[in-house]
Amino acid sequence: MKQTNLKLTFLKRVLLTTSAFAIIGTGAAIPKNISPIAAATSDAKSAQAASSNLSLTQDGVTLKLGDVFYDGTRLSFSIEREGKNLPEGVMSLYLPVDAKASKSLKKYMVPEKDQKKGYIKRPQILIDGKAFKGLGSFGDKVSQKNAVEAEYNQLDALPDEFEMTIQVGVTRISKPFEFKVPVKKDGNMVSIKPNKTQKSGDFSYTVKQLDIASRTTRLVLDSEGQVPASTKQTGKYAPSMMYYDIVDDQGKTLQQRRVGFYHSKPRTKYHIDELYSAIGSKPQYVTIKPYTFTVDPSNWSVVGQGKGADGKYKNGDKTYINELEMTIPVPAQ
């Protein structure tokens, strides 16, 4: 995926465990057709800060850094905003002025002097004084008003201990807020690299890496080929791209932190790097259970997605492909 400048305005919010995030990093590519299909329960443990909260005030705006967490697979933090006469939204959706931009984007390109004061811009991260090259997400923190949260899951070989510098701008305030905080890896991580492949028809996937940390599980895999279709996914309907559940040896399905859907025909090659909830106990093995959603090719919407009769949001029914299940042994920790 090529990397481009961040374009938050045409990103439909992706619902995560604790926040609605937009993708960030060193100029991450933003899919133009991504929409939310997942709602997970919040991870209370993730809200525990690895360090004391820090607070900075400039020109009537106070930012508080909290929830700093790192476990080898995930680096995250939150920023709370305080002040008078601030806009209702927290995250800035303004784009840099670019004369070559399309008309649809130019309306969001507002000069700094004309912007509303108090929006938080995407942060710049330094690790031990050097630019951080990880890829992650940034957006409004759903569980807390007037706060944003950043989460990085593609980390750039971070050490077990480091000093993190967070430079975050606020609209109509000339100098960025700068936080410096020591970060220490939480717990021990087990990293498994099975390089194991499972195949069904023209479709195959290879698990490259499975990281099991104290509060997070990370799955990295590559897939290739056209996904198989069930009897319900023919004619009027079709299968979505392939998704993957992780189930521990006690039968518990881990909660995926973000499940994104693209309103387009599935590609034949994917690189998946996703975070899930912690396994908790020390399993002897985990099972990867691939599945698809049923979609309508006329607009690539998910069949059965939306608010159910009980008022709860539903992602749509999963179709598991049993012949693609894969069991991965977990070494003793």
Per-residue confidence (pLDDT) for residue 13, from 0 to 100: 33
Residue 73: pLDDT above 80? yes
* CATH topology (fold) of 190-329: Immunoglobulin-like (2.60.40)
Query: Where exactly does CATH 2.60.40 map onto the chain?
Result: 8-184, 190-329
Tokens representing 40 are 């997970």
The whole-number average pLDDT for the span 211-218 is: 90
The whole-number average pLDDT for the span 236-265 is: 91
Tokens representing 193 are 């690299």
Per-residue confidence (pLDDT) for residue 53, from 0 to 100: 56
φ, ψ of residue 106 to 5 degrees: the values are -60, -30
Give the integer Cα–Cα distance in Å for 132 and 25: 8
Per-residue confidence (pLDDT) for residue 243, from 0 to 100: 97
Per-residue confidence (pLDDT) for residue 170, from 0 to 100: 97
What is the band of 333 on the pLDDT scale with cuts at 50, 70, 90?
A: low
Q: From residue 78, give the alpha-carbon distance in Å to each of 68, 86, 139, 141, 317.
A: 7, 18, 10, 8, 33
Residue 32: pLDDT above 70? no
What is the band of 154 on the pLDDT scale with cuts at 50, 70, 90?
A: confident
* CATH topology (fold) of 8-184: Immunoglobulin-like (2.60.40)
Give the integer Cα–Cα distance in Å for 330 and 281: 11
Q: If residue 295 lies in a helix (H) or strand (E), which one and from where to where? A: strand 285-296
